[in-house]
Amino acid sequence: MLYSEKVMDHFEHPRNVGSIPDADGVGQVGNPKCGDIMKMYLKIDGNNVITDVKFQTFGCGSAIATSSMATEMIKGRTVDEAMGLTNAAVAEALDGLPAYKMHCSVLAEEAIKAALADWYAKKGEPVPECCKLPCDGDEHGCCSCG
Amino acid sequence: MTNRIYADHAATAALSHTALRAMEPYFTQKYGNPSSLYGFGQQAKADLEKARADLAACLNARPEEIYFTSGGTEADNWALKGAVELMALKGKKTGHIITSAIEHHAVLHTAQYLEKQGYSVTYLPVDGHGRVDPAAVEAAIRPDTLLISIMAANNEIGTIQPVAEIGAVARAHKILFHTDAVQAVGHIPVDVQAWNADLLSLSGHKFGGPRGMGALYVKKPLRLPPLIHGGGQEKGRRSGTENVAGAVGMAAALKEAVARLPEESARLSALRDRLIAGLATLPYTRLTGHPTHRLPGIASFVFEGVEGEALLLHLDAKGICASSGSACSSASLDPSHVLLAIGLPHAIAHGSLRLSLGPDNTEADVDAILKAVPQVVEYLRAMSPVWDAQAQKPTWEL
Ligand SMILES: Cc1ncc(COP(=O)(O)O)c(C=O)c1O
Protein backbone atom coordinates (compact mmCIF):
# COMPACT_ATOMS: atom_id res chain seq x y z
CA MET A 1 0.00 0.00 0.00
CA LEU A 2 1.10 3.48 -0.85
CA TYR A 3 -0.60 4.91 2.26
CA SER A 4 -1.02 3.92 5.89
CA GLU A 5 -4.38 2.64 7.10
CA LYS A 6 -4.98 5.96 8.86
CA VAL A 7 -4.41 7.91 5.65
CA MET A 8 -6.79 5.61 3.78
CA ASP A 9 -9.38 5.92 6.56
CA HIS A 10 -9.29 9.74 6.43
CA PHE A 11 -9.26 9.68 2.64
CA GLU A 12 -12.23 7.34 2.34
CA HIS A 13 -14.15 8.81 5.27
CA PRO A 14 -12.99 12.42 5.51
CA ARG A 15 -14.13 14.26 8.65
CA ASN A 16 -15.48 17.82 8.58
CA VAL A 17 -15.98 18.17 4.84
CA GLY A 18 -17.93 21.17 3.66
CA SER A 19 -18.13 24.89 4.18
CA ILE A 20 -19.31 27.29 6.92
CA PRO A 21 -21.29 30.13 5.35
CA ASP A 22 -20.82 32.48 8.34
CA ALA A 23 -17.25 31.44 9.10
CA ASP A 24 -15.12 33.73 11.26
CA GLY A 25 -12.02 32.89 9.28
CA VAL A 26 -11.52 31.38 5.82
CA GLY A 27 -8.18 30.45 4.27
CA GLN A 28 -7.29 28.92 0.93
CA VAL A 29 -3.85 27.72 -0.10
CA GLY A 30 -2.39 25.85 -3.04
CA ASN A 31 -2.97 26.46 -6.71
CA PRO A 32 -4.60 24.50 -9.50
CA LYS A 33 -1.34 24.25 -11.44
CA CYS A 34 0.13 22.12 -8.67
CA GLY A 35 -2.98 20.00 -8.36
CA ASP A 36 -3.66 20.75 -4.68
CA ILE A 37 -5.99 23.37 -3.22
CA MET A 38 -7.22 23.42 0.36
CA LYS A 39 -9.81 25.72 1.83
CA MET A 40 -10.47 25.88 5.59
CA TYR A 41 -13.43 27.48 7.35
CA LEU A 42 -13.28 28.27 11.08
CA LYS A 43 -15.89 29.23 13.67
CA ILE A 44 -14.16 30.86 16.64
CA ASP A 45 -15.98 31.89 19.83
CA GLY A 46 -15.37 34.75 22.29
CA ASN A 47 -12.88 32.65 24.24
CA ASN A 48 -10.76 32.11 21.13
CA VAL A 49 -11.87 28.49 20.92
CA ILE A 50 -12.34 26.90 17.50
CA THR A 51 -15.87 25.59 17.85
CA ASP A 52 -16.28 24.36 14.30
CA VAL A 53 -14.08 23.70 11.30
CA LYS A 54 -14.81 22.52 7.79
CA PHE A 55 -12.65 21.96 4.75
CA GLN A 56 -12.83 21.59 0.99
CA THR A 57 -9.92 20.05 -0.89
CA PHE A 58 -9.03 19.49 -4.51
CA GLY A 59 -6.13 17.11 -4.49
CA CYS A 60 -4.75 13.64 -4.12
CA GLY A 61 -5.41 11.05 -1.44
CA SER A 62 -2.92 12.50 1.00
CA ALA A 63 -4.16 16.06 0.42
CA ILE A 64 -7.67 14.98 1.42
CA ALA A 65 -6.43 12.88 4.34
CA THR A 66 -4.17 15.60 5.76
CA SER A 67 -6.99 18.17 5.50
CA SER A 68 -9.31 15.85 7.34
CA MET A 69 -6.80 15.01 10.06
CA ALA A 70 -5.82 18.65 10.52
CA THR A 71 -9.44 19.66 11.09
CA GLU A 72 -9.80 16.98 13.77
CA MET A 73 -6.63 18.17 15.46
CA ILE A 74 -7.81 21.77 15.85
CA LYS A 75 -11.52 21.33 16.52
CA GLY A 76 -12.28 22.39 20.10
CA ARG A 77 -8.79 23.82 20.52
CA THR A 78 -7.81 27.42 21.12
CA VAL A 79 -6.43 29.66 18.43
CA ASP A 80 -3.03 29.56 20.11
CA GLU A 81 -3.04 25.77 20.06
CA ALA A 82 -4.10 25.69 16.41
CA MET A 83 -1.32 28.12 15.53
CA GLY A 84 1.17 25.67 16.95
CA LEU A 85 0.01 22.79 14.75
CA THR A 86 2.88 21.67 12.53
CA ASN A 87 2.76 19.70 9.32
CA ALA A 88 4.98 17.07 10.94
CA ALA A 89 2.38 16.57 13.67
CA VAL A 90 -0.36 16.08 11.06
CA ALA A 91 1.76 13.59 9.12
CA GLU A 92 2.66 11.75 12.32
CA ALA A 93 -0.98 11.54 13.37
CA LEU A 94 -1.61 9.80 10.05
CA ASP A 95 1.17 7.28 10.77
CA GLY A 96 3.38 8.97 8.21
CA LEU A 97 3.23 9.98 4.56
CA PRO A 98 5.46 9.01 1.63
CA ALA A 99 8.31 11.56 1.39
CA TYR A 100 7.04 13.11 -1.85
CA LYS A 101 3.60 13.63 -0.27
CA MET A 102 4.88 15.62 2.71
CA HIS A 103 4.02 18.88 0.92
CA CYS A 104 0.34 17.95 1.38
CA SER A 105 0.77 18.14 5.13
CA VAL A 106 2.49 21.51 4.68
CA LEU A 107 -0.58 22.72 2.81
CA ALA A 108 -2.84 21.58 5.64
CA GLU A 109 -0.80 23.54 8.18
CA GLU A 110 -0.77 26.58 5.91
CA ALA A 111 -4.51 26.40 5.20
CA ILE A 112 -5.20 26.63 8.93
CA LYS A 113 -2.79 29.52 9.32
CA ALA A 114 -4.36 31.31 6.37
CA ALA A 115 -7.80 30.91 7.96
CA LEU A 116 -6.48 32.23 11.28
CA ALA A 117 -4.84 35.15 9.52
CA ASP A 118 -8.21 35.94 7.95
CA TRP A 119 -9.85 35.82 11.38
CA TYR A 120 -7.31 38.32 12.76
CA ALA A 121 -7.68 40.54 9.70
CA LYS A 122 -11.49 40.51 9.94
CA LYS A 123 -11.23 41.64 13.55
CA GLY A 124 -8.91 44.42 12.44
CA GLU A 125 -6.07 42.99 14.48
CA PRO A 126 -2.51 42.58 13.26
CA VAL A 127 -1.80 39.10 11.85
CA PRO A 128 0.83 37.30 13.97
CA GLU A 129 4.08 36.55 12.14
CA CYS A 130 3.56 32.80 12.45
CA CYS A 131 0.27 32.96 10.53
CA LYS A 132 1.87 34.63 7.54
CA LEU A 133 2.64 32.32 4.64
CA PRO A 134 5.98 32.32 2.89
CA CYS A 135 4.27 33.59 -0.24
CA ASP A 136 2.01 36.25 1.29
CA GLY A 137 1.77 39.27 -0.94
CA ASP A 138 4.02 37.70 -3.50
CA GLU A 139 3.13 36.45 -6.97
CA HIS A 140 5.85 33.88 -7.38
CA GLY A 141 3.39 31.02 -7.98
CA CYS A 142 4.69 28.30 -5.69
CA CYS A 143 2.47 25.40 -4.70
CA SER A 144 1.47 27.13 -1.45
CA CYS A 145 0.20 30.29 -3.11
CA GLY A 146 -3.48 30.78 -2.44
CA MET B 1 -10.92 -9.02 -4.32
CA THR B 2 -13.10 -11.45 -6.21
CA ASN B 3 -14.99 -9.12 -8.53
CA ARG B 4 -12.07 -6.97 -9.56
CA ILE B 5 -12.43 -5.12 -12.84
CA TYR B 6 -9.05 -4.77 -14.46
CA ALA B 7 -9.00 -1.77 -16.78
CA ASP B 8 -5.27 -1.13 -16.93
CA HIS B 9 -4.16 -3.41 -19.76
CA ALA B 10 -1.95 -0.71 -21.27
CA ALA B 11 0.19 -0.95 -18.12
CA THR B 12 0.42 -4.71 -18.21
CA ALA B 13 -1.92 -7.65 -18.66
CA ALA B 14 -2.32 -11.26 -17.63
CA LEU B 15 -0.33 -13.85 -19.51
CA SER B 16 -2.65 -15.51 -22.01
CA HIS B 17 -3.48 -19.15 -21.39
CA THR B 18 -2.07 -19.96 -24.80
CA ALA B 19 1.24 -18.34 -23.89
CA LEU B 20 1.31 -20.03 -20.50
CA ARG B 21 0.72 -23.46 -22.04
CA ALA B 22 3.35 -22.84 -24.70
CA MET B 23 5.91 -21.78 -22.09
CA GLU B 24 5.37 -24.50 -19.51
CA PRO B 25 7.63 -27.21 -20.96
CA TYR B 26 10.63 -24.84 -21.12
CA PHE B 27 11.07 -24.46 -17.38
CA THR B 28 11.63 -28.04 -16.27
CA GLN B 29 11.64 -30.21 -19.40
CA LYS B 30 12.98 -28.46 -22.49
CA TYR B 31 15.42 -26.30 -20.58
CA GLY B 32 18.44 -26.90 -22.78
CA ASN B 33 20.70 -23.98 -23.62
CA PRO B 34 20.22 -23.08 -27.31
CA SER B 35 23.95 -22.44 -27.61
CA SER B 36 24.84 -26.00 -26.57
CA LEU B 37 25.85 -28.52 -29.19
CA TYR B 38 24.02 -31.57 -27.88
CA GLY B 39 20.59 -32.41 -29.21
CA PHE B 40 18.85 -31.26 -26.02
CA GLY B 41 20.22 -27.76 -26.56
CA GLN B 42 19.64 -27.83 -30.27
CA GLN B 43 15.98 -28.67 -29.76
CA ALA B 44 15.65 -25.51 -27.65
CA LYS B 45 17.47 -23.64 -30.42
CA ALA B 46 15.00 -24.93 -33.00
CA ASP B 47 12.08 -23.84 -30.80
CA LEU B 48 13.62 -20.41 -30.31
CA GLU B 49 13.97 -20.02 -34.07
CA LYS B 50 10.41 -21.15 -34.59
CA ALA B 51 9.29 -18.44 -32.14
CA ARG B 52 11.38 -15.89 -34.03
CA ALA B 53 9.81 -16.90 -37.33
CA ASP B 54 6.28 -16.79 -35.88
CA LEU B 55 6.89 -13.35 -34.41
CA ALA B 56 8.42 -12.07 -37.66
CA ALA B 57 5.43 -13.29 -39.65
CA CYS B 58 3.10 -11.20 -37.44
CA LEU B 59 5.02 -8.06 -38.43
CA ASN B 60 5.60 -8.89 -42.10
CA ALA B 61 9.30 -9.13 -41.27
CA ARG B 62 11.89 -11.83 -41.89
CA PRO B 63 13.04 -14.06 -39.00
CA GLU B 64 16.65 -12.79 -39.35
CA GLU B 65 15.36 -9.29 -38.66
CA ILE B 66 14.05 -10.10 -35.15
CA TYR B 67 16.27 -9.79 -32.06
CA PHE B 68 14.91 -10.80 -28.68
CA THR B 69 15.39 -8.33 -25.82
CA SER B 70 14.37 -7.99 -22.19
CA GLY B 71 11.38 -5.83 -23.12
CA GLY B 72 10.25 -2.62 -24.73
CA THR B 73 12.59 -0.42 -22.73
CA GLU B 74 15.68 -2.29 -23.84
CA ALA B 75 14.47 -2.36 -27.45
CA ASP B 76 13.95 1.43 -27.39
CA ASN B 77 17.33 2.04 -25.78
CA TRP B 78 19.07 -0.20 -28.27
CA ALA B 79 17.29 1.37 -31.25
CA LEU B 80 18.34 4.91 -30.36
CA LYS B 81 21.81 4.23 -28.97
CA GLY B 82 22.54 1.61 -31.61
CA ALA B 83 21.42 3.84 -34.47
CA VAL B 84 23.64 6.73 -33.48
CA GLU B 85 26.56 4.38 -32.86
CA LEU B 86 26.04 2.85 -36.29
CA MET B 87 26.16 6.32 -37.84
CA ALA B 88 29.25 7.13 -35.76
CA LEU B 89 30.95 4.05 -37.21
CA LYS B 90 30.16 5.51 -40.61
CA GLY B 91 31.94 8.70 -39.61
CA LYS B 92 29.00 10.79 -38.37
CA LYS B 93 30.15 11.20 -34.80
CA THR B 94 27.50 13.74 -33.96
CA GLY B 95 24.21 14.76 -35.41
CA HIS B 96 20.51 15.29 -35.02
CA ILE B 97 17.60 13.13 -33.90
CA ILE B 98 13.91 13.81 -34.46
CA THR B 99 11.38 12.45 -32.03
CA SER B 100 8.11 13.61 -30.51
CA ALA B 101 7.08 15.25 -27.26
CA ILE B 102 4.75 12.36 -26.38
CA GLU B 103 7.11 9.39 -26.54
CA HIS B 104 7.31 6.89 -23.70
CA HIS B 105 10.13 7.65 -21.25
CA ALA B 106 12.06 4.70 -22.67
CA VAL B 107 12.56 6.83 -25.80
CA LEU B 108 12.43 10.31 -24.25
CA HIS B 109 14.98 9.70 -21.53
CA THR B 110 17.25 7.88 -23.97
CA ALA B 111 17.05 10.89 -26.32
CA GLN B 112 17.85 13.19 -23.41
CA TYR B 113 20.83 10.98 -22.54
CA LEU B 114 22.06 11.28 -26.14
CA GLU B 115 21.67 15.05 -25.93
CA LYS B 116 24.12 14.96 -23.02
CA GLN B 117 26.47 12.99 -25.29
CA GLY B 118 26.42 15.89 -27.74
CA TYR B 119 23.59 14.96 -30.11
CA SER B 120 20.89 17.50 -30.81
CA VAL B 121 17.30 16.41 -30.52
CA THR B 122 14.07 17.90 -31.87
CA TYR B 123 11.01 16.97 -29.81
CA LEU B 124 8.20 17.57 -32.28
CA PRO B 125 5.00 19.01 -30.87
CA VAL B 126 1.69 17.23 -31.44
CA ASP B 127 -1.77 18.57 -32.18
CA GLY B 128 -4.59 18.66 -29.63
CA HIS B 129 -5.38 15.03 -30.40
CA GLY B 130 -1.78 13.94 -29.91
CA ARG B 131 -0.86 13.44 -33.54
CA VAL B 132 2.49 14.21 -35.11
CA ASP B 133 2.24 15.94 -38.48
CA PRO B 134 4.36 14.11 -41.11
CA ALA B 135 4.98 17.49 -42.79
CA ALA B 136 6.45 18.74 -39.50
CA VAL B 137 8.75 15.72 -39.45
CA GLU B 138 9.92 16.58 -42.94
CA ALA B 139 10.39 20.25 -42.04
CA ALA B 140 12.53 19.30 -39.02
CA ILE B 141 14.99 17.29 -41.11
CA ARG B 142 18.49 18.77 -41.23
CA PRO B 143 21.49 17.70 -43.27
CA ASP B 144 22.87 16.00 -40.15
CA THR B 145 19.66 14.21 -39.11
CA LEU B 146 20.59 10.62 -38.22
CA LEU B 147 17.38 9.14 -36.90
CA ILE B 148 13.65 9.71 -36.71
CA SER B 149 11.88 7.97 -33.81
CA ILE B 150 8.12 8.35 -33.55
CA MET B 151 5.90 5.99 -31.59
CA ALA B 152 3.20 4.03 -33.42
CA ALA B 153 0.55 4.51 -30.73
CA ASN B 154 0.54 6.40 -27.48
CA ASN B 155 0.23 4.58 -24.18
CA GLU B 156 -1.62 7.33 -22.29
CA ILE B 157 -4.14 8.69 -24.75
CA GLY B 158 -4.20 5.88 -27.30
CA THR B 159 -3.58 8.10 -30.33
CA ILE B 160 -2.33 6.21 -33.38
CA GLN B 161 0.28 8.10 -35.38
CA PRO B 162 0.45 8.33 -39.16
CA VAL B 163 3.40 5.94 -38.99
CA ALA B 164 3.44 4.91 -42.65
CA GLU B 165 3.49 8.55 -43.78
CA ILE B 166 6.28 9.41 -41.35
CA GLY B 167 8.17 6.31 -42.47
CA ALA B 168 7.79 7.42 -46.08
CA VAL B 169 9.29 10.82 -45.23
CA ALA B 170 12.24 9.13 -43.55
CA ARG B 171 12.70 6.78 -46.50
CA ALA B 172 12.58 9.64 -49.02
CA HIS B 173 15.33 11.42 -47.10
CA LYS B 174 17.32 8.20 -46.49
CA ILE B 175 17.13 8.67 -42.73
CA LEU B 176 16.78 5.76 -40.31
CA PHE B 177 13.26 5.40 -38.93
CA HIS B 178 12.47 3.80 -35.57
CA THR B 179 9.00 3.34 -34.16
CA ASP B 180 8.13 2.34 -30.62
CA ALA B 181 5.25 -0.01 -31.42
CA VAL B 182 4.92 -1.39 -27.90
CA GLN B 183 1.25 -0.35 -27.62
CA ALA B 184 0.44 -1.14 -31.25
CA VAL B 185 1.69 -4.68 -31.74
CA GLY B 186 -1.11 -7.17 -31.22
CA HIS B 187 -3.70 -4.37 -31.07
CA ILE B 188 -3.67 -2.87 -34.58
CA PRO B 189 -2.23 -4.28 -37.81
CA VAL B 190 1.53 -3.76 -37.85
CA ASP B 191 3.52 -4.09 -41.07
CA VAL B 192 7.17 -3.08 -41.05
CA GLN B 193 7.22 -2.92 -44.87
CA ALA B 194 4.14 -0.72 -45.20
CA TRP B 195 5.40 1.47 -42.37
CA ASN B 196 8.87 1.85 -43.92
CA ALA B 197 10.32 1.02 -40.52
CA ASP B 198 14.02 0.34 -40.14
CA LEU B 199 13.70 -0.37 -36.43
CA LEU B 200 10.62 -1.32 -34.42
CA SER B 201 10.27 -2.03 -30.70
CA LEU B 202 7.74 -4.36 -29.14
CA SER B 203 7.07 -5.76 -25.68
CA GLY B 204 5.52 -9.12 -24.81
CA HIS B 205 3.43 -8.21 -21.78
CA LYS B 206 1.33 -5.68 -23.68
CA PHE B 207 -0.35 -8.41 -25.75
CA GLY B 208 -0.66 -11.39 -23.44
CA GLY B 209 2.96 -12.49 -23.53
CA PRO B 210 5.34 -12.61 -20.57
CA ARG B 211 6.88 -9.59 -18.88
CA GLY B 212 10.59 -8.94 -19.30
CA MET B 213 10.43 -10.11 -22.90
CA GLY B 214 10.49 -7.95 -26.00
CA ALA B 215 12.07 -7.65 -29.40
CA LEU B 216 13.65 -5.19 -31.75
CA TYR B 217 13.06 -5.50 -35.46
CA VAL B 218 16.17 -4.45 -37.38
CA LYS B 219 15.68 -4.20 -41.12
CA LYS B 220 18.18 -6.11 -43.21
CA PRO B 221 20.96 -5.35 -44.06
CA LEU B 222 21.30 -2.90 -41.14
CA ARG B 223 23.88 -4.10 -38.63
CA LEU B 224 23.07 -2.40 -35.37
CA PRO B 225 26.01 -2.38 -32.92
CA PRO B 226 25.08 -4.25 -29.74
CA LEU B 227 23.86 -2.55 -26.59
CA ILE B 228 24.52 -5.64 -24.45
CA HIS B 229 27.92 -7.28 -24.85
CA GLY B 230 28.81 -10.77 -23.72
CA GLY B 231 28.58 -14.35 -24.93
CA GLY B 232 27.56 -13.49 -28.46
CA GLN B 233 23.99 -14.78 -28.55
CA GLU B 234 21.52 -13.37 -31.13
CA LYS B 235 24.26 -13.38 -33.78
CA GLY B 236 26.50 -11.38 -31.49
CA ARG B 237 24.01 -8.52 -31.38
CA ARG B 238 22.38 -9.18 -28.04
CA SER B 239 24.25 -11.32 -25.56
CA GLY B 240 22.83 -13.29 -22.69
CA THR B 241 21.56 -16.87 -22.44
CA GLU B 242 18.36 -16.92 -24.45
CA ASN B 243 15.03 -16.81 -22.64
CA VAL B 244 13.47 -19.59 -24.70
CA ALA B 245 10.34 -19.82 -22.57
CA GLY B 246 9.87 -16.05 -22.89
CA ALA B 247 10.39 -16.03 -26.64
CA VAL B 248 8.05 -19.00 -27.18
CA GLY B 249 5.40 -17.45 -24.93
CA MET B 250 5.65 -14.05 -26.56
CA ALA B 251 5.39 -15.53 -30.06
CA ALA B 252 2.42 -17.71 -29.06
CA ALA B 253 0.64 -14.73 -27.53
CA LEU B 254 1.24 -12.55 -30.57
CA LYS B 255 0.19 -15.22 -33.03
CA GLU B 256 -3.06 -15.57 -31.15
CA ALA B 257 -3.58 -11.81 -30.79
CA VAL B 258 -3.00 -11.26 -34.50
CA ALA B 259 -5.30 -14.13 -35.48
CA ARG B 260 -8.05 -12.66 -33.28
CA LEU B 261 -7.29 -9.05 -34.06
CA PRO B 262 -10.16 -8.19 -36.45
CA GLU B 263 -12.75 -9.68 -34.11
CA GLU B 264 -11.19 -8.59 -30.82
CA SER B 265 -10.44 -5.05 -31.92
CA ALA B 266 -14.05 -4.64 -33.06
CA ARG B 267 -15.25 -5.96 -29.70
CA LEU B 268 -12.90 -3.74 -27.70
CA SER B 269 -13.63 -0.66 -29.83
CA ALA B 270 -17.33 -1.12 -29.11
CA LEU B 271 -16.68 -1.35 -25.35
CA ARG B 272 -14.32 1.62 -25.54
CA ASP B 273 -16.88 3.67 -27.45
CA ARG B 274 -19.48 2.94 -24.78
CA LEU B 275 -17.06 4.27 -22.17
CA ILE B 276 -16.43 7.36 -24.26
CA ALA B 277 -20.11 7.96 -24.93
CA GLY B 278 -20.94 7.54 -21.24
CA LEU B 279 -18.09 9.51 -19.70
CA ALA B 280 -16.93 12.18 -22.14
CA THR B 281 -20.44 13.61 -21.95
CA LEU B 282 -20.17 14.38 -18.21
CA PRO B 283 -19.95 18.14 -17.59
CA TYR B 284 -16.48 19.66 -17.87
CA THR B 285 -15.04 16.38 -19.04
CA ARG B 286 -13.18 15.68 -22.23
CA LEU B 287 -11.84 12.75 -24.12
CA THR B 288 -8.07 12.92 -24.50
CA GLY B 289 -6.46 11.63 -27.67
CA HIS B 290 -7.86 11.24 -31.15
CA PRO B 291 -11.57 10.44 -31.55
CA THR B 292 -11.00 7.88 -34.32
CA HIS B 293 -7.27 7.24 -34.76
CA ARG B 294 -7.08 5.53 -31.41
CA LEU B 295 -6.18 2.14 -29.97
CA PRO B 296 -9.20 -0.17 -29.63
CA GLY B 297 -8.75 -0.64 -25.88
CA ILE B 298 -7.90 2.85 -24.61
CA ALA B 299 -10.47 5.36 -23.33
CA SER B 300 -8.87 8.36 -21.64
CA PHE B 301 -10.37 11.45 -20.10
CA VAL B 302 -9.82 14.55 -18.03
CA PHE B 303 -12.35 15.68 -15.43
CA GLU B 304 -12.10 19.31 -14.33
CA GLY B 305 -12.10 19.96 -10.60
CA VAL B 306 -11.02 16.42 -9.74
CA GLU B 307 -7.52 15.14 -9.00
CA GLY B 308 -6.52 11.89 -10.68
CA GLU B 309 -4.97 10.03 -7.77
CA ALA B 310 -8.02 10.58 -5.59
CA LEU B 311 -10.15 9.32 -8.47
CA LEU B 312 -8.02 6.17 -8.82
CA LEU B 313 -8.09 5.39 -5.11
CA HIS B 314 -11.88 5.64 -4.97
CA LEU B 315 -12.20 3.48 -8.08
CA ASP B 316 -9.84 0.98 -6.45
CA ALA B 317 -12.12 0.89 -3.42
CA LYS B 318 -14.92 -0.04 -5.83
CA GLY B 319 -12.77 -2.80 -7.32
CA ILE B 320 -11.75 -0.99 -10.49
CA CYS B 321 -8.07 -0.82 -11.53
CA ALA B 322 -7.25 2.15 -13.76
CA SER B 323 -4.48 4.71 -14.14
CA SER B 324 -3.89 8.42 -14.38
CA GLY B 325 -1.26 10.81 -15.68
CA SER B 326 -1.78 13.10 -12.71
CA ALA B 327 1.34 14.31 -10.95
CA CYS B 328 0.11 13.00 -7.63
CA SER B 329 -0.19 9.46 -8.93
CA SER B 330 3.56 9.43 -9.50
CA ALA B 331 6.55 10.67 -7.58
CA SER B 332 7.01 13.68 -9.86
CA LEU B 333 5.29 16.99 -9.30
CA ASP B 334 4.24 17.59 -12.89
CA PRO B 335 1.35 15.97 -14.66
CA SER B 336 2.11 13.74 -17.61
CA HIS B 337 4.21 15.21 -20.42
CA VAL B 338 1.73 13.72 -22.88
CA LEU B 339 -1.25 15.61 -21.45
CA LEU B 340 0.74 18.84 -21.37
CA ALA B 341 1.89 18.25 -24.96
CA ILE B 342 -1.71 18.04 -26.20
CA GLY B 343 -2.18 21.50 -24.75
CA LEU B 344 -4.03 20.81 -21.52
CA PRO B 345 -3.42 23.30 -18.73
CA HIS B 346 -1.73 21.76 -15.67
CA ALA B 347 -4.88 22.19 -13.59
CA ILE B 348 -6.91 20.04 -15.97
CA ALA B 349 -4.15 17.53 -16.69
CA HIS B 350 -4.16 16.66 -12.97
CA GLY B 351 -7.65 15.23 -13.44
CA SER B 352 -6.84 12.49 -15.92
CA LEU B 353 -8.08 8.92 -16.08
CA ARG B 354 -7.00 6.14 -18.43
CA LEU B 355 -9.15 3.05 -18.80
CA SER B 356 -7.45 0.42 -20.94
CA LEU B 357 -9.47 -2.64 -21.84
CA GLY B 358 -8.33 -6.13 -22.76
CA PRO B 359 -9.47 -9.67 -23.47
CA ASP B 360 -10.99 -10.26 -20.02
CA ASN B 361 -13.24 -7.18 -20.06
CA THR B 362 -16.97 -7.57 -20.66
CA GLU B 363 -20.07 -5.45 -21.21
CA ALA B 364 -20.80 -5.88 -17.50
CA ASP B 365 -17.39 -4.36 -16.67
CA VAL B 366 -18.25 -1.35 -18.80
CA ASP B 367 -21.63 -1.05 -17.07
CA ALA B 368 -19.89 -1.05 -13.69
CA ILE B 369 -17.31 1.53 -14.78
CA LEU B 370 -20.04 3.74 -16.24
CA LYS B 371 -21.78 3.64 -12.89
CA ALA B 372 -18.70 4.10 -10.69
CA VAL B 373 -16.79 6.86 -12.45
CA PRO B 374 -19.58 9.47 -12.47
CA GLN B 375 -20.28 8.72 -8.79
CA VAL B 376 -16.67 9.26 -7.80
CA VAL B 377 -16.29 12.36 -9.98
CA GLU B 378 -19.43 13.86 -8.46
CA TYR B 379 -18.31 13.01 -4.92
CA LEU B 380 -14.86 14.54 -5.38
CA ARG B 381 -16.27 17.64 -7.07
CA ALA B 382 -18.67 18.11 -4.18
CA MET B 383 -15.72 18.39 -1.76
CA SER B 384 -13.60 20.49 -4.11
CA PRO B 385 -13.07 24.22 -3.47
CA VAL B 386 -12.62 24.73 -7.20
CA TRP B 387 -16.03 23.33 -8.10
CA ASP B 388 -19.16 25.46 -7.97
CA ALA B 389 -21.85 23.00 -6.90
CA GLN B 390 -24.73 25.38 -7.71
CA ALA B 391 -23.60 26.24 -11.20
CA GLN B 392 -22.07 22.76 -11.74
CA LYS B 393 -18.88 24.20 -13.15
CA PRO B 394 -15.33 24.87 -12.05
CA THR B 395 -14.63 28.16 -10.30
CA TRP B 396 -11.44 28.65 -12.25
CA GLU B 397 -10.95 30.53 -15.50
CA LEU B 398 -8.09 28.90 -17.35
C1 LIG C 1 4.89 3.02 -25.61
C2 LIG C 1 5.73 2.20 -24.68
N3 LIG C 1 7.04 2.07 -24.91
C4 LIG C 1 7.83 1.34 -24.10
C5 LIG C 1 7.33 0.70 -22.98
C6 LIG C 1 8.25 -0.08 -22.10
O7 LIG C 1 8.09 -1.45 -22.27
P8 LIG C 1 8.60 -2.50 -21.18
O9 LIG C 1 7.70 -2.35 -20.01
O10 LIG C 1 8.47 -3.83 -21.84
O11 LIG C 1 10.01 -2.20 -20.88
C12 LIG C 1 5.96 0.82 -22.71
C13 LIG C 1 5.35 0.15 -21.53
O14 LIG C 1 5.32 0.60 -20.42
C15 LIG C 1 5.14 1.59 -23.56
O16 LIG C 1 3.84 1.74 -23.33
DSSP state letter for B198: S
Residue of B nearest to A31 (CA): B347
Q: Which among B171, B134, B151 has a CA at the least distance from the CA of B75?
A: B151
Q: Identify all chain A residues contacting B313, using CB atoms and an 8 Å cutoff.
A: 8, 11-12, 61
Q: Where are the domains of chain B?
A: 5-13+261-394, 17-259
Does residue B48 register a pLDDT over 90? Answer: yes
A17 interfacial to chain B (CB closer than 8 Å): yes
Task: Please check whether residue B83 is in contact with residue B178, taking contact to mean a CB–CB distance below 8 angstroms.
Answer: yes
Note the residue count of chain B. Answer: 398
* pLDDT tens digits, B317-375: 999 999 998 766 566 668 899 999 999 999 999 999 999 999 999 999 999 999 999 99
Does residue A140 register a pLDDT over 50? Answer: no
* pLDDT tens digits, B173-188: 999 999 999 999 999 9
Measure the CA–CA gap between B249 and B61, rounded to whole angstroms: 19
Mean pLDDT of chain B: 96
Burial A3-24 (b: 16+ CB within 10 A, else e): bbeebbbbbeebbbbeebeebb
Site to probe by mutation for ligand 1, drawn from B8, B68, B73, B161 as the one with most ligand atoms within 8 Å of Cβ, is: B73
Measure the CA–CA gap between B131 and B291, rounded to whole angstroms: 11
Show Cβ contacts of residue A117 under 8 Å, excluding neighbours closer than 6 positions: A25, A27, A127, A131, A132, A133
- Looking at domain B17-259, its CATH architecture is 3-Layer(aba) Sandwich (3.40)
If you average pLDDT over residues B116-142, what whole number do you get? 98
B5-13+261-394 topology per CATH: Aspartate Aminotransferase, domain 1 (3.90.1150)
Instruction: Give the pLDDT score at A130.
Output: 85
Instruction: Give the pLDDT score at A134.
Output: 72
Instruction: With cut-offs at 50, 70 and 90, classify the pLDDT of residue A33.
Output: confident
If you average pLDDT over residues B299-305, what whole number do you get? 97
If you average pLDDT over residues B49-76, what whole number do you get? 98
Instruction: Give the pLDDT score at A143.
Output: 63
Give the nearest partner residue to A35 out of B327, B383, B398, using CB atoms: B327
Measure the CA–CA gap between B88 and A9, rounded to whole angstroms: 57
If you average pLDDT over residues A91-102, what whole number do you get? 94
- Kind plus residue range of the DSSP H or E element containing B352: strand B352-356
Instruction: Give the pLDDT score at A146.
Output: 52
Calculated CA dihedral for residues B184, B186, B189, B190, nearest 10 degrees: 60
User: Residues 68-97, chain A: which have Cβ within 8 Å of B?
Assistant: none
If you average pLDDT over residues A64-81, what whole number do you get? 97
If you average pLDDT over residues B111-116, what whole number do you get? 98
Does residue A141 register a pLDDT over 60? Answer: no
DSSP A64-95: HHHHHHHHHHHTT-BHHHHHT--HHHHHHHTT
Does residue A145 register a pLDDT over 60? Answer: no
Instruction: Give the pLDDT score at A131.
Output: 87
Taking the CA of residue A126 and the nearest CA in chain B, the distance in Å comes to 27
Instruction: With cut-offs at 50, 70 and 90, classify the pLDDT of residue A136.
Output: low
Does residue A7 register a pLDDT over 50? Answer: yes
Q: Identify all chain B residues contacting A14, using CB atoms and an 8 Å cutoff.
A: 383
Instruction: With cut-offs at 50, 70 and 90, classify the pLDDT of residue A57.
Output: very high
CATH number of A5-131, picked from 3.40.50.300, 3.20.20.210, 3.40.640.10, 3.90.1010.10: 3.90.1010.10
B385 interfacial to chain A (CB closer than 8 Å): yes
A41 interfacial to chain B (CB closer than 8 Å): no
If you average pLDDT over residues A52-70, what whole number do you get? 96
Bond preceding residue A128 cis, omega within 30 of 0: no
If you average pLDDT over residues B257-280, what whole number do you get? 98
Residue of B nearest to A62 (CA): B310
Contact A56 B385 (CB under 8 A): yes
Instruction: With cut-offs at 50, 70 and 90, classify the pLDDT of residue B268.
Output: very high
Pocket of ligand 1 (CB under 6 A): B 71-73, 76, 104, 106, 151, 155, 180, 182-183, 203, 214
Contact B386 A58 (CB under 8 A): yes
- Name the burial class of residue B289, with classes exposed (0-12), middle (13-18) and buried (19+) by CB atoms within 10 angstroms of its CB: buried
* pLDDT tens digits, B147-200: 999 999 999 999 999 999 999 999 999 999 999 999 999 999 999 999 999 999
Instruction: Give the pLDDT score at B272.
Output: 98
Instruction: Give the pLDDT score at B331.
Output: 63
